[in-house]
Amino acid sequence: MRELYPEIEPFRTRRLAVDARHTLYVEECGTPDALPVIFLHGGPGAGIAPYHRRFFDPKRWHAVLFDQRGAGQSTPFADLTDNTTAHLVADIEAIREELGIERWVVFGGSWGSTLALAYAQAHPERVLGLVLRGIFLARDEELRWFNEADGGARYIFPERWARFRDFIPEAERGNMTEAYWKRLDSDDEATRLTAAQAWSAYEGGSTTLVHDPDASGDFADPHKAVSLARLEVHYFRHGMFLEPGQLLRDVAKIRRIPATIVHGRYDIICPVKTALDLHEAWPEAALRIVLAGHSAADPAIVDALVEATDKLADRYS
């Protein structure tokens, strides 16, 4: 099985002001004149991590990574003003123009797959290829599946669900997203933090195929928990700022773009049916369903993603 490429440091970082309020942290890795790719992280609000640089052969890729509005090192931190899908799509274009890139590959997982589809459908002429992992199409049933009492994830991770549920008083559990939002938007800092940690612990510990119900997960750091929880709930409450069924409806706009869809068979956060629904609408895209969960770091996911980026590099070499 393929593994991640060796650890690598950016050859350039910058801070890009995209409006009067928001400034993005952007980093570039690999080879400046090589095939360009932009990496879109999940969440919203999760931010980039050093291992994200390693899905790309540094000799054959010019990899661009950035923290989306409110996430990671972008500022203002966890800010929700002018933070919508349309703003993020515009930010991707601003980065492309700033770097002088004509066309590039777009790589995104989980929420990053949602944003990648939205960007590609808005700007298909700028996209050389798509690598999508852990598909999330932002439909109502997907929004409810993991975080609401009528979703199915509570049957798979009952211990984690119980902790997530019990943080909220019984009278408010009919709409967990709104109940968490009430606390995440509190004037009290301690209330905001404990709600963010409860929300993020439920998701962060549910990503991998090999599951420890008591593990703290990927978002244990309070800083990351706050941005993840506030931005996710903000987007969830607004249907991810997309029209119902928009991403499937507009597949025709990107049908001719080379694409690979990678999805874990046992992904509980974004169930595999979502990837199958996308592939049914877009049979030209290659579909890889692998023995994995949701995490991009699961070995079978790594193998499939690195294979996909290597094949695109071969295609355009």
Q: Which of 294, 295, 298, 303 is catalytic?
A: 294
294 is catalytic: yes
CA distance 44 to 46: 6
| Bridge pairing between strands 61-66 and 104-109 | unpaired
Q: How many CB atoms lie within 10 A of CB 153?
A: 21
Cβ(264)–Cβ(207) under 8 Å? no
110 is catalytic: yes
Buried b / exposed e over 3-36, threshold 16 CB at 10 Å, is ebbeeeebeeeeebebeeebbbbbbbbbbeebbb
Q: Which of 110, 200, 227, 295 is catalytic?
A: 110
Q: Which of 67, 267, 298, 303 is catalytic?
A: 267
Residue the block writes with tokens 């008591």: 214
Q: Could you tell me which of 113, 106, 115, 86 has the C-alpha nearest to residue 18?
A: 86
| Chain centre to alpha carbon of residue 142 | 14
| Bridge pairing between strands 104-109 and 286-290 | unpaired
47: β partners: none
Structural tokens at position 309: 């980026």
What are the distances in angstroms from CA 228 to CA 117, 184, 190? 21, 11, 16
Catalytic residues: 110, 267, 294
